[in-house]
Homo-oligomer: A and B are copies of this chain.
């Protein structure tokens, strides 16, 4: 019995999300089907982050156990062969100790949210960015974001369906910056609540639009009520960039 860790990249567009569900294709089901094809084993795969429908990954991390030993590079190449034509790719594979757990051992998760901030819609980046046509005030968004950094009760930014036991989280970094005609939001924490990044981005967008002051974001956080914060940003612009252990 050996445990393997994969780093995977995927286009979240065609999937109902990471997790296997009855209502459509999931990244997990695609990966497990590819694994079964050549290992003839059917391990459960466990991911660092259960990304939602439409959310992309550049560096999702997954672990699973196999009875047979595999050379990691062969595992990677065989998976990539059998994953086609699904837009899921194994960037890296490694054998890891049995104590390694993709979700529980993670100490830091990094997300990127991309906003295309120009009048014209995307031609090349359809489904990969949130298109916001009015120019956003990035400095005000960044200032507001700093009010969310730190250890807080994030109830206001948590999906009402979130199953986490506690709404208390420590947000290490939330940076907003302009990159060409895009606005990028970088979010880093040990872990996030369900929809937390998208709810923070949807709220910061109100600040970028001039509808809210940065202080109102602090007020929304303090009220501990989902209805006090802004709407959920669409999944298209969200990327799970990296998981650290």
Task: Verify B91–A124 contact, CB threshold 8 A.
Answer: no
The yes or no answer to A101 lying at the interface (CB within 8 A) is no
The yes or no answer to A105 lying at the interface (CB within 8 A) is no
A122–B90 Cα distance when bound, in Å, is 10
Task: Verify B123–A88 contact, CB threshold 8 A.
Answer: yes
A121–B8 Cα distance when bound, in Å, is 11
- Chain B residue nearest to A180 (CB atoms) is B58
Name the one of B76, B87, B124 contacting A58, with C-beta atoms under 8 angstroms. B124
- Chain B residue nearest to A133 (CB atoms) is B77
Task: Verify B11–A87 contact, CB threshold 8 A.
Answer: no
A119–B128 Cα distance when bound, in Å, is 23
The yes or no answer to A126 lying at the interface (CB within 8 A) is yes
CB distance from A180 to the nearest CB of B (A): 10
A90–B87 Cα distance when bound, in Å, is 28
On chain B, the residues within 8 Å of A157 by CB distance are none
Name the one of B8, B11, B90, B120 contacting A89, with C-beta atoms under 8 angstroms. B120
CB distance from A19 to the nearest CB of B (A): 18
- Chain B residue nearest to A79 (CB atoms) is B120
Task: Verify B9–A87 contact, CB threshold 8 A.
Answer: no
Name the one of B80, B124, B126 contacting A120, with C-beta atoms under 8 angstroms. B80
On chain B, the residues within 8 Å of A77 by CB distance are 119
Q: Which residues of A contact B (CB under 8 A)?
A: 8-11, 56, 58, 73, 76-77, 80, 87-92, 118-124, 126, 128
